[in-house]
Amino acid sequence: MARVTGIGGVFFKADDPEKLYQWYEKHLGIKREHGYVSFQWRDDDVEEGCTTWSIFRKQSDYFSPSVSPLMINYRVDDLDGLLNAMRADGVAIEKREDSDYGCFAWVMDPEGNKIELWEPPRKSKETPKA
């Protein structure tokens, strides 16, 4: 069965993202690079992974149609299987797309919170050379 395997990212809105990033770095040591924070980890199924932590401007429409200031990205083991099961249960899929970073889809929970689902790219299984 398709399932959530972890948190891929936490995204939230702020009046002043720059000031808030500085506060988190100063007081908690959370340092961003390339505009966001990336907590690195290793997994048997993926070559490398991370949990992204990012602050968006309050005016950002990335979370739309949700009005919530928070969005969580959940790592999943089989995005298409999960989406099929959710559709069968009557859940509307907002969007699905593939990228170099893996496969993504967005749904809304019953409270109107946008959820990002992410299946990371699989580690390539190389054939040993003779």
Question: Using one digit for the tens of pLDDT, what is the confidence trace for 68-79?
Answer: 999 999 999 899
Domains of the chain: total: 1
Q: Does some domain include residue 8?
A: yes
Residue 98 lies in a domain: yes
Q: Does 65 sit behind a cis peptide bond, omega within 30 degrees of 0 on the bond before it?
A: yes
Question: Global pTM?
Answer: 0.81
- The four Cα atoms 83, 89, 95, 101 give a dihedral, to 10 degrees, of -20
For residue range 56-110, list pLDDT tens digits in order: 999 999 999 999 999 999 999 899 999 999 999 999 999 999 999 899 999 999 8
List all residues 6 or more positions away from 18 whose beta carbon is below 8 Å from its beta carbon.
Answer: none
Residue 73 lies in a domain: yes
**Buried b / exposed e along 92-104 (16+ C-beta atoms within 10 A):** eeeeeeeeeebbb
Q: Is residue 125 part of a domain?
A: no
Question: Does residue 15 sit within a domain?
Answer: yes
Q: Which residue range forms the structural domain that includes residue 111?
A: 4-119
For residue 106, the domain's CATH number is 3.10.180.10
